[in-house]
């Protein structure tokens, strides 16, 4: 659970960090009137910062202290249900965005004529003789 909180803190946009901080400290989301907007912002941040295969149960348990502290008026379980709806919609938007990016990358590769199987790590690249002495000879 701590790993998920760290990922969320690290990858949240700067404008979302105060909200993420409050949520992870177990503080209320926001005062009445702006709770739905704050919940949407939080769950969108969660969807875009955490891996897609993060179980809903883990996310709910990580945020439960915050959700319990929030005066929603209809109870914590209703708030959890609303949070999961918003999370699932945000994950769908993320999947759509990722699919568009992947298609654009494939189009770019095709345009450049670069095979998709091009070397991707230094160990696959051919050695290059830069004409420099070895570090041992630097003296």
Instruction: Please report how many Cα atoms fall inside a 13 Å half-sphere around the Cα of residue 59, on the Cβ side.
Output: 27
Q: Which pTM value belongs to this model?
A: 0.73
Residue 119's nearest CA partner among 127, 111, 130, 110 is: 127
pLDDT in tens, 86-131: 999 999 999 999 999 999 999 998 888 866 665 566 556 666 556 6
Domain map (residue ranges) of the chain: 2-114
For 51-92, write each residue's pLDDT tens digit.
999 999 999 999 999 999 998 888 899 999 999 999 999 999
């Amino acid at each position: 659970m701590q790993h998920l909180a760290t990922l969320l803190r690290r990858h949240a946009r700067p404008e979302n960090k105060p909200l993420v901080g409050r949520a992870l400290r177990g503080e209320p989301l926001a005062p009445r009137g702006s709770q739905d907007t704050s919940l949407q912002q939080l769950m969108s941040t969660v969807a875009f910062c955490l891996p897609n295969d993060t179980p809903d149960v883990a996310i709910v348990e990580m945020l439960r202290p915050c959700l319990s502290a929030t005066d929603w008026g209809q109870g914590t379980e209703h708030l959890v249900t609303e949070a999961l709806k918003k999370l699932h919609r945000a994950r769908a938007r993320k999947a759509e965005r990722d699919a568009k990016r992947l298609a654009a990358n494939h189009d770019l590769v095709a345009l450049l004529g670069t095979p998709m199987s091009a070397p991707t790590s230094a160990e696959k690249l051919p050695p290059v003789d830069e004409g420099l002495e070895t570090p041992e000879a630097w003296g």
